[in-house]
Amino acid sequence: MSFALTGRFPAYRPRRLRQSPALRRFVSETRLNVGQLTLPLFVRAGRKVRRAIEAMPGVFQFSPDELVRQAAQAHELDVPAVLLFGIPDAKDEKASGAYARNGIVQQTVRLLKKELPELIVITDVCLCEYMSHGHCGIVERRKSGARILNDPTLKLLARTAVSHAEAGADIVAPSDMMDGRVRAIRQALDRGGFTAMPIMSYAAKFASAFYGPFREAAESAPRFGDRRSYQMDAANAREALREVALDIEEGADIVMVKPALACLDILYRVKTEFGYPTAAYSVSAEYSMIKAAAGNGWIDERAVTMETLLALRRAGADILITYAATDVARWTRESKP
């Protein structure tokens, strides 16, 4: 980049404005605000359940009662939103648990909205946790191999989104990466009377090795094959912009880039190109790597986490989805003078 007008040394000395914390804060271009955070939470049936996820220290699968306590803790620290993932007791080949009226997510949404009405409850809309094969869509098995069917899957995704809306969710967030799902969900919501329900689409979601620890957390690892026939290839940035454009045309209100740290260029381009509210999902391995290195005493957990989130903001993210949301909110409060 070349600047039309910029000072030159010695008249211009950038260090002048770096002399004190107050001056640095005064001219900082990017700020991290607790109001931008979203905490992902995993819910499973039961009472008083806190099942630790080994590869994500500090992250648990909670029963609904425990989950409400966690959400309340985050909310008291001003974290405005949670993103819910459900782990059902039973899985099948049509993901019945995803759109069951009394499914685990639907129950938990009702409970959260009753106990914490001000908290924004975002629900992940996908089928993989509810499918016995662990894929995000309906599978057709042939001699030549298995295929994930796109169009028949849309109906189930739409049904899932409507069931979340009926339970009282504030935002639905489709993460499946089927073509045309945002349109299908928008139409189904509108038909159901939920014209005011926003859609946060996982618009540029890459097939990523950074999702590894999440599979344990959500118990959603595919039994065969992988997700590369529907999630994006990490090599493609221009295609990511087309995916985002499609989702916006189909009715997405917020677009998401996932993973975050490996996609700063995508985030920047998405925000610059479309100017829509943009979310960055700092995924499980991004969290686990910091935890592991910090656990070994190799890095400063707090400093690295804050710097990482600031980088996402600088790249253009308005909304930061992170497993560290509660910690970040606490650190922010502690550092207030």
Q: Which is nearer to Zn ion, 124 or 286 (CB)?
A: 124
Active site residue 48: no
In the complex with Zn ion, which residue's Cβ is closer, 123 or 326? 123
Question: Residue 176 Cβ, how far from Zn ion at the closest point, in Å?
Answer: 5
Catalytic-role residue among 94, 113, 258, 336:
258
Distance CA 176, CA 82 (A): 19
58/225 Cα distance (integer angstroms): 30
Least Å distance, CB 305 to Zn ion, is 26
Evaluated on CA atoms 277, 283, 287, 289, the torsion sign reads negative
CB of 229 to Zn ion, least distance (A): 13
- Is 114 catalytic? The answer is no
The residue from 91, 205, 271, 291 that is catalytic is 205
Using DSSP's 3-state secondary structure scheme, residue 201 falls into strand
Binding segment (CB under 5 A) for Zn ion, from list 59-67, 123-131, 209-217, 271-279: 123-131
Which is closer to Zn ion, CB of 128 or CB of 169?
128
> In this chain, which stretch among 20-28, 80-88, 135-143, 181-189 interacts with Zn ion, using CB under 5 A?
135-143
Contact 293, 299 (CB under 8 A): yes
Select 128 or 279, whichever has its Cβ closest to Zn ion: 128
Q: Does the protein bind Zn ion through residue 218 (CB under 5 A)?
A: no
DSSP string for residues in 77-100: TT--EEEEEEE-S--BSS-HHHH-
**Residue 106 C-beta: closest distance to Zn ion, Å:** 17
Q: Per CB under 5 A, which of residues 8..37 are in contact with Zn ion?
A: none
Does 309 interact with Zn ion (rule: CB under 5 A)? no
- Supply φ then ψ for residue 295, to 5 degrees: -60, -30
Decide whether 127 or 328 has the Cβ nearer to Zn ion.
Answer: 127
CB closer to Zn ion out of 157 and 244: 157
Asked if 136 interacts with Zn ion (CB under 5 A), we say: yes
Torsion angle of C-alpha atoms 329, 88, 192, 116, degrees rounded to 10: -30
State the number of CA atoms in the 13 A half-sphere of 315 facing the CB: 26
User: 106: burial class by Cβ within 10 Å (0-12, 13-18, 19+)?
Assistant: buried
Q: Which of 37, 105, 126, 188 binds Zn ion (CB under 5 A)?
A: 126
Count CB neighbours of 75 within 10 A. 22
CB-count exposure of residue 213 (10 Å: 0-12, 13-18, 19+): buried
Question: By CB under 5 A, which span of 42-50, 106-114, 125-133, 209-217 interacts with Zn ion?
Answer: 125-133
Sole window of 63-71, 130-138, 245-253, 291-299 interacting with Zn ion (rule: CB under 5 A) = 130-138
Minimum CB separation from Zn ion for residue 139, in Å? 13
Least gap, CB of 172 to Zn ion (angstroms): 14
Contact 290, 304 (CB under 8 A): yes
DSSP E strand boundaries for the chain: 37-44, 50-52, 60-62, 81-87, 120-125, 138-142, 145-149, 171-174, 200-205, 254-258, 278-281, 319-321
Q: Does 105 bind Zn ion (CB under 5 A)?
A: no
Shortest spacing between CB 174 and Zn ion, in angstroms: 9
For the chain, the C-alpha Rg in angstroms (whole number) is 21
The answer to the question of residue 128 lying near Zn ion (CB under 5 A) is: yes
Q: Which positions are catalytic?
A: 205, 258
**What residues make contact with Zn ion under the rule CB under 5 A?**
126, 128, 136
